[in-house]
Amino acid sequence: MSIEFSKKLAAHETPIPGVVLYDLPVHGDNRGWFKENWQREKMLALGLPDFRPVQNNISFNETAGTTRGIHAEPWDKFISVATGRIFGAWVDLREGPSFGAVFTAELDPSQAIFIPRGVGNAFQTLEDNTAYTYLVNDHWSADAQGQYTFLNLADETAAIRWPVSLEEAELSDKDRAHPRLAEVVPMPPKKTLVVGADGQLGKALRELYGGDASVEFAGRAEFDLSSEASFTERNWKSYSTIINAAAYTAVDAAETAEGRAAAWAINVTAVARLARTAVEQDLTLVHVSSDYVFDGTTESHDETEAPTPLGVYGQTKAAGDAVVSVVPRHYIVRTSWVIGEGNNFVRTMASLAGRGVEPSVVDDQIGRLSFTQDIAAGIRHLLDSGAPYGVYNLSNGGEAQSWADIAGDVYELTADSRAAVTGVSTEEYFRGKTVSPRPANSVLDLSKIKNTGFEPPSAKDRLQEYLGHRH
């Protein structure tokens, strides 16, 4: 066998999404040859996913013409040849537009290929004593076999041109009996789990992902964040992403002894459990943060600003953010003044307007409303676009307003007069009450998420739609 020595490490895209063929540098002399079969740092620099292999398997094949496959397994694989030469064939058996796409190539020790979960893998040896080796990112188990997807080596649709005819090749009876492509049930994608799915944001995510079987919703009854069993009894191998839409948001109650304990339990301890799970299972964790992590003394808050929380609620949200930040694949979505399905400021003002009440409303706190449909859309955009992991501010757009300004808009839109709203200071409004301190300025800089291609709609436009929809 002749191996091309000293090729440069290089990546080559293939017709199957996510399948990448690599040239590996092989160094040889009179004694034989040496190669770095897997070198994480160099491979990541070429764009290979950091798929965290946990098991190394070798298939030794005594004679040329030995043929194995086509098996799509529930894990990713990095495949190469240790000795000999193979003809490899790969067929996309995942749900989606590329289902049935085929790629073939001859591989010797100077090449390797990355095969994502759900892509069928097969090979035929072209030389005697060929060893086929692969790294996988999950441990083999008998239970995992039930998640395999198979395709017949002789499938007419794939029409793979095997160098040695299948009639003459050495293959197993099981491989001969696999189904044709028309009978294959595609491998579904890994799932996204939304926890806290019964809150305002959870309901918006339910509506956005309605009908998507790959997204699973769990309220407290289905996933109790305070219970260790919720974490240990779930098969996390079936998931790729957790969206945490749960939070303790009773800002003033958090200042009480009972509320303080509940806020820390939900916003920090439960989040730490989610973060630990995400790290251990290599999941993406999406976590929703708050403007309350800031003291509101800057003109506009960007993602680089250090947290300066004033009250217990803000302190727990800042602590939760710090925990999530250690997850390699995380999105912290920081929002403000959330409006969705449920009790909220806009609904309260609309109710007061309908009853002819003339309220006093705080006029020295400014920010922007964040409608849950747009928070949900922003989260989906970050996940679908593969935006860089990290912190993203996400509120609706437009000019900053005070609570009194927004109340005036609500009154105006409900056929009343904005003159019915009287602006008062925070100090005056809460005089004599035990409440949490609030940031005076909650305006979030939206430049970073806009640069990913997501343009949050105007808060005023959304407010009009929200009130119009309700009536």
CB-based burial, 447-458: b 16+ in 10 Å, e otherwise: ebbeeeebebee
Structure tokens at 53: 């292999």
Whose CA is closest to 88, among 116, 62, 59, 67? 67
Give pLDDT, residue 417: 87
Give pLDDT, residue 145: 61
Over range 16-40, report the average pLDDT: 92
Residue 140: half-sphere exposure toward Cβ, Cα within 13 Å: 9
Region of residue 215 (phi > 0: left; psi between -120 and 50: alpha; otherwise: beta): beta
Q: Which CATH architecture has domain 191-470?
A: 3-Layer(aba) Sandwich (3.40)
Please give the Cα distance from 169 to 161 (Å, whole number): 13
Assess contact for 151 and 70: CB atoms under 8 A: yes
pLDDT over 60 at 471, yes or no: no
pLDDT over 80 at 2, yes or no: no
Report residue 470's pLDDT band, with 50, 70 and 90 as the boundaries: very low
pLDDT over 70 at 142, yes or no: no
Catalytic annotation on 248? Answer: no
Average pLDDT, the chain: 94
- Asked, as a colleague might, if the bond just before 79 is cis with ω within 30 of 0, I would say no
> What does the pLDDT look like over 59-69, one tens digit per residue?
999 999 999 99
Region of residue 377 (phi > 0: left; psi between -120 and 50: alpha; otherwise: beta): alpha
- Amino acid symbol at 161: R
From 12, 22, 132, 134, the catalytic residue: 134
Assess contact for 145 and 103: CB atoms under 8 A: no
Which phi and psi (to 5°) does residue 80 adopt? -150, 175
Provide the 3-class DSSP secondary structure of residue 276.
Answer: helix
Give pLDDT, residue 125: 97
Please give the Cα distance from 246 to 203 (Å, whole number): 11
Query: Regarding beta strands 130-136 and 55-61, do their DSSP bridges make them parallel or antiparallel, or are they unpaired?
Result: antiparallel
Over range 279-303, report the average pLDDT: 96
Assess contact for 294 and 309: CB atoms under 8 A: yes
Among 34-38, 374-378, 452-456, the minimum mean pLDDT is found in: 34-38
Burial bucket for residue 303 (CB in 10 Å: 0-12, 13-18, 19+)? middle
Over range 134-141, report the average pLDDT: 88
Structure tokens at 401: 């307003």
pLDDT over 70 at 364, yes or no: yes
DSSP H/E element including 221: none
pLDDT over 90 at 415, yes or no: no
Give pLDDT, residue 264: 98
From 12, 22, 27, 71, the catalytic residue: 71
SS3 per residue for 374-417: HHHHHHHHHHHHCCCCEEEECCCECCCEEHHHHHHHHHHHCCCC
10-183 and 191-470 agree in CATH topology: no
Structure tokens at 420: 């019915």
Q: How many CB atoms lie within 10 A of CB 413?
A: 20
Provide the 3-class DSSP secondary structure of residue 69.
Answer: strand
What is the third-level CATH fold of 10-183? Jelly Rolls (2.60.120)
CB-based burial, 105-115: b 16+ in 10 Å, e otherwise: eebbbbbbbbb
Over range 86-103, report the average pLDDT: 97
Please give the Cα distance from 436 to 260 (Å, whole number): 11
Domain ranges of the chain: 10-183, 191-470
Please give the Cα distance from 52 to 30 (Å, whole number): 35
Please give the Cα distance from 367 to 141 (Å, whole number): 53
Length of the chain: 471
> What does the pLDDT look like over 228-284, one tens digit per residue?
999 998 989 899 999 999 999 999 999 999 999 999 999 999 999 999 999 999 999
Whose CA is closest to 195, among 136, 88, 275, 107? 275
Catalytic annotation on 71? Answer: yes
Please give the Cα distance from 257 to 64 (Å, whole number): 74
Give pLDDT, residue 146: 65
Structure tokens at 397: 């757009």
